[in-house]
Structure 1
Amino acid sequence: MSKTPLAQAVAVATLGASLALPSLAHAEFIKDSKGTLELRNFYFNRDFRQDTPVPAQSKAEEWAQGFIMKLESGYTEGSIGVGLDAIGTLGLKLDSSQDRAGTGLLQRGGRGTGPAEDSYGDLGMTAKLRASKSTLKVGTLIPKLPVVQANDSRLLPQTFSGGALNSLELDGLTFDGGRLKQYNQRDSSDYEDMLMTTGGRRNITGAAGVTADKFDFAGGSYKWNDSLTTSYHYGALEDLYNQHYLNLVHVLPIADKQALKSDIRWARSTDDGDTNVDNKALNAMFTYTLGYNAFGIGYQEMSGDTGFAYINGTDPFLVNYVQIGDFANKDEKSWQARYDYNFAGLGIPGLTFMTRYLTGDDVDLGAAGNNGKEWERNMDIAYVLQDGPLKNLGLKWRNATTRSNFTNDLDENRLIVSYSMPLW
């Protein structure tokens, strides 16, 4: 899309405000810039179904409107290119109350226990340097790696502050490394020191309320050919845990419009300080694609003295991490059956359907024995308009039910309307 003079002026003013451009010769900084605005309307309802004891809150239900603006510059010319990115977020309360707050959509007052605030948001900036096929970014980051995956399942995305290097210098090899210092949770306007997840029946001790000053990560993935990719990543949350993660993804073509995808993952987590983290996580997902259908079977097994360790609020890289649960408690073994259908096969492009069922058992309940059990059922129906004035408008309904003999029983519905538009 060609840029108007106004769009170019916005690019310079917004993206170049913190850069001292030596001359207008650095035209690529402006020419290669782009901006998008995503509108996200989100209704969330979670019904607490347990009868005994009577829960303090019967349900969590809120409705909100989110705005996510992303601006990315190009790079200045020369052997080392300089650029600047920005992300601005705003969440607005449409409906909430004290007895229904806590969905993760809205920021709450009273140190996270009060009513939802009318609005919240943040502005993040990221400086970037590019040399050859390597890029260094410092500032606001949204990492997507096996050892740290920022959460974007609510109104606004979780972000981090820090520095990250991505290198593609060797053919087929992608290297990532860096350090994260703090995070801004998906329902917050403030950056905080990082915590690790300790909920559920993980049997993790020594981590409650303990913050980390840094998270260091490094690793790489290698694409052997069009069918096979392997990776190794390392992550360390200071004084809390170390983690090594191996992943293999293989796609086996079988026939026309038929393939078998194997996604095998193994992680080893150990303590780094005063915690007792000790976990081995084996998980795998096998998906058979037949035309517009996909059939999946997943297995996940936790072993060691604790459950799986990860940064609080992030998405753990586990095949059985789904809408509500992660099935990552101490000694838990879980299975997943999944089915997907793309209605393009019936002449309705843009309409998709997914359903899955997961069951887990052998959870260590301490003195009560290894008889913890849980199950979860999910269903997603999504439609994205393919043409017309509202092209790319997305509609999604997410439904989930979970039952357990050691934690909350929940019924949940999420209705999401999203629309992303280019700013220039």
Structure 2
Amino acid sequence: MKTAHSLSPIFIALAATMSNAAQAADTPTGDGFIEGSSLRLNTRNYYMNRDRRDQHVDDSKEWGQGFIGLFESGYTPGVVGFGLDAHALLGLKLDGGGGTDGSSLLPVSDGSGKAPGSFSTAGGTLKLRALDSELKAGDLFLGNPVIAGGRTRMLPQTFRGFSLANHSVDGLLLEGGRASFTKLYNQSGHRRIGTAYGSLPDARESRHLDWLGASWSGTPGLTSNLYAATLKDIWNQYYYDLDYTWTLADGVSLNPGLHAYHTRDTGQALLGHIDNNTYSLHLTLGVGSHSLTAAYQRVNGNTPFDYINQGDSIFLDNSQQYSDFNGPGERSWKLKYAYDFAGLGLPGLTSAISYSRGTLDLSSADQGSRGYASWYSADGTHARHWERDLDIQYVVQDGRARDLALRLQWATNRGSGGYSAVDRDVDEYRVIVDYPVNIF
């Protein structure tokens, strides 16, 4: 296996912003460390029930209460402004354990078979702003296509490292960074960065992930992103998307879009040989409060499309509540209907229902892969699975309970043999209540 030699993306990003800094060294910055500060508290009550119907075991039922406190300071005055962000996360078990845990909402059970009664973490970020650039170092909330912290459970995932962002051109974001550790959404402490589907040998994980990206939103109706990342000794990953909303008439729009990833092994190739091209296409027709989406997704490669463990860095159309439809050689399609009840005089109430179906030919899957072989079954040369999803959400629009959000999610997944290690016959229900409070 050849080792790739390349500059770290963060140093490329630093070089790109240094020229901008040199051109505007006299520009002041800062809105006041205290004057520009804010403190927010979000309470999240989360119930999750996962019924593994093909395993004849007890349902995984977990219920918890999360508290997410976020402090963000302003910047000190001057050409270079300094600031500080801090957060505290607390998760409390309301129900779970004794044979009913395991949905991934709460920490992994200890030897007693019960999840702990609470888990928590806290962190801080030093930040520096000069001209149109911002440098952060410490505990980061990240959300780009190659490294996005998971936010689908009670508490968010964070990363420890540094990032640099530049906004010199209106509508253009340039960013880069390095993350060396992560705090998973159902854990208290930090660990090295792993992957969602790969099984690393001897419990080894990557020492860090470097990323560099550009995001364009300066053209009305058009957005586009280009990102590259290196997960040390595992993969180089590249991402591109293009999304355009075309207004056909008053209240009528057409929205085509493309998402594409290319992943190749690098360095010591801890997960073995990877050569994976994955893409999805979607077309959405919007008419008033209605929208109808058709999507197609394809994985070209003999390993699954993989991403950061517990993360949301899978910007693909057919990544659903339960299944990602990302098996080796998988083809999948989806139909989705969404309705905004504001059209009936009920603002804040939205709904969506979708049906997704995927087929796999595992005859070419890499059964000898040291990182992915455990996900396949020899009797599943031709595997199929489908998922039906229902999502209903209501957000209070005014009054003392303004921004209180209630979300109900239901997923049904059914699959044939061969890929059952990932996509079992499962019914999954989620009830999520969010209440954000702006303290100052």
Q: Same fold (TM over 0.5)?
A: yes
RMSD: 1.7
Q: Offset of 1:208 from its aligned partner?
A: 7.5
- Which among 310, 314, 325 is matched to residue 311 of structure 2? 314
Counterpart position of 1:168: 167
Please say if residues 376 and 403 of structure 1, whose CA atoms lie closer than 8 Å, have aligned partners that are also in contact.
yes
Residue of structure 1 equivalent to 2:87 = 87
Q: Is the 8 A contact 1:363 1:373 kept in 2?
A: no
Residue of structure 2 in register with 1:260 after alignment: 254
State the SS of the aligned residue for 2:115.
Answer: coil
Report the Cα offset of residue 169 of structure 1. Answer: 1.1
- 1:237 is matched with 231
**Structure 1 residue 170 displacement after superposition:** 2.1
Residue 390 of structure 1: CA displacement?
1.3
Among residues 20, 24, 28, which one is paired with 2:32 in the alignment? 28
| 1:19-40 superposed Cα distances (whole Å, 9 cap, x missing partner) | xxxxxxx871111111111011
Matched residue, 2:8: none
The answer to whether 1:250 aligns with 2:244 is yes
Q: Distance in 1 between matches of 2:303 and 2:426?
A: 25
- CA positional deviation for 1:314: 0.8
Q: Note closer, same or farther for the CA distance 1:205–1:381 as it changes in structure 2 (3 Å cut).
A: closer
In the alignment of these two chains, the number of paired residues is: 389
Aligned to 2:24: none
Distance 2:200 2:194 in 1: 12
User: Is the Cα contact below 8 Å between 1:196 and 1:207 reproduced in 2?
Assistant: no
Q: Is the 8 A contact 2:258 2:282 kept in 1?
A: yes
2:436 counterpart of 1:420? yes
Cα distance change, pair 391–224 in 1 and its aligned pair in 2 (3 A): closer
TM alignment of 1:191-340, pairs within 5 A? 191-198=190-197, 209-272=203-266, 273-274=268-269, 275-315=272-312, 316-340=314-338
Deviations 1:380-400 (A, max 9, x none): 111111122212111111001
1:41 corresponds to 2:45: yes
Determine the C-alpha separation between the residues in 2 that align with 1:207 and 1:295.
Answer: 44
Q: Secondary structure at the match of 2:203?
A: coil
Q: Secondary structure at the match of 2:322?
A: coil
Q: Distance in 1 between matches of 2:69 and 2:110?
A: 28
User: 1:68 and 1:205, CA in 2 relative to 1: closer, same or farther beyond 3 A?
Assistant: closer
Q: Aligned in 2, Cα 1:245/1:294: closer, same or farther, shift over 3 Å?
A: same
Structure 2: distance between partners of 1:388 and 1:246: 42
List runs of 5+ in structure 2 lacking aligned partners: 1-29, 366-377
| TM-score of the pair, normalised by structure 2 | 0.85
Contact kept? 2:99, 2:113, Cα under 8 Å: no
Whole-angstrom CA distance in 2 between matches of 1:346 and 1:174: 38
Name the structure 2 match of 1:105: 105
Q: CA deviation at 1:85?
A: 0.6
Query: Which range moved further: 272-281 or 338-347?
Result: 272-281
Other structure's SS at 1:108 match: coil
Cα distance in 2 for partners of 1:223, 1:360 equals 32
Structure 1 residue runs of 5 or longer lacking an equivalent are 1-25, 199-203
Any conservation in 2 of the 1:278–1:307 contact (CA below 8 Å)? no
Letter in 2 for 1:104: S
Residues 361 and 208 from structure 1, CA distance in 2 versus in 1: closer, same or farther, beyond 3 angstroms? farther
User: Residues 74 and 108 from structure 1, CA distance in 2 versus in 1: closer, same or farther, beyond 3 angstroms?
Assistant: same
Query: Deviation digits for residues 174-206 of structure 1, max 9, x if unmatched?
Result: 1110000011100000100111122xxxxx676
Deviation per CA, 1:160-179: give whole Å up to 9, x if none: 10101111112332111000
> Cα distance, 1:210 vs. partner?
2.9
CA offsets per residue over residues 137-180 of structure 1, 9 Å max, x none? 11111111111111111100011101011111123321110000
Alpha-carbon distance between aligned partners in 2 of 1:250 and 1:27, rounded to the nearest angstrom: 35
Question: What is the aligned partner in structure 2 of residue 139 from structure 1?
Answer: 138
Question: 2:345 is matched with which residue?
Answer: 347
Match status 1:376 vs 2:387: yes
Tell me: CA distance 1:363–1:151, structure 2 relative to 1, closer, same or farther (3 Å). Answer: farther
The 8 Å contact of residues 205 and 276 in structure 1, kept in 2 or not, is answered as: no
Aligned to 1:5: none
Q: Which residue of 2 aligns with 1:395?
A: 406
| Pairing 1:180–2:179 present | yes
Structure 1 contact 361–374 (Cα < 8 Å) conserved: yes
In the aligned structure 2, how far is the partner of 1:260 from the partner of 1:381?
A: 23
TM-score w.r.t. structure 1 length? 0.88
Distance 1:248 1:97, change over 3 A: same
